[in-house]
Amino acid sequence: MSAAAERRTAVFAALRSLLLEHPWGEVTLEAVARDAGVSRQTLYNSFGSRYGLAQAYTVDLADALCAVIAATLAEHPDDPRTGLREGLRHYLEIAAEDPLIQRVRTGDAHHDLVRIVTVDAGPLLVRVAERLEAAARTAWPAADPDAVRTLARALARLALSYVTMPPEYDDSPAAIAAGLSVLLAPKLM
């Protein structure tokens, strides 16, 4: 791992740790820099602002979640329903534990955080949809490409909706994932 990648990982870990203890409004770039072992100027050079840091953290989290889903889909090359069910279950469980997502869900988020996953979410949606489409094409090369593209775009939007607003019912992540996989998987092949 390069020095820049190590710094970035340390910064995101520091931000995550601070968010576990404090609301977003109390998390300063100075505190993140201190806990990450970098200068505040390094944060400004890398992210530009607190909002830029939150955006980068969100993209990093989305990439990590897409990687989990891609690995899960790859584990089930002959069974899209199971791949989707398990990938979605992992996504929902991991996302529910992230402190930034928890802040958004509970209404304890600064408007900057909410903007990242609502009005400013276009680039994030495109990125997630592209990553999911690539993962599905790799896992299921025989799948209809148009169906895979549609699935990826729908999953990206569904995933983001679960970040901003958790289900209004008491189903577990496993039950939600099972229901969505039954609905979405049959159209793939």
Report the alpha-carbon distance of residue 126 to residue 32 in Å, rounded.
28
**pTM of this structure:** 0.83
Report pLDDT for 7.
Answer: 92
**What is the end-to-end Cα distance of the chain in Å, rounded?**
39
At 189 the pLDDT is 57
The mean pLDDT value of the chain amounts to 87
CA quadruple 73, 76, 78, 83: dihedral, nearest 10 = -60
pLDDT at 165: 76
> Burial letters for 57-87: b for 16+ Cβ neighbours within 10 Å, e otherwise?
bbeebbeebbebbbebbeebeebbbbbbbbb
**Which regions in the chain score pLDDT beneath 50?**
none
Q: Write down the pLDDT at residue 39.
A: 94
Cβ within 8 Å of residue 146, ≥6 positions away:
none
* pLDDT of 188: 60
Residues 17, 35 contacting (CB under 8 angstroms): yes
| Interatomic CA distance for residues 9 and 171, integer angstroms | 33
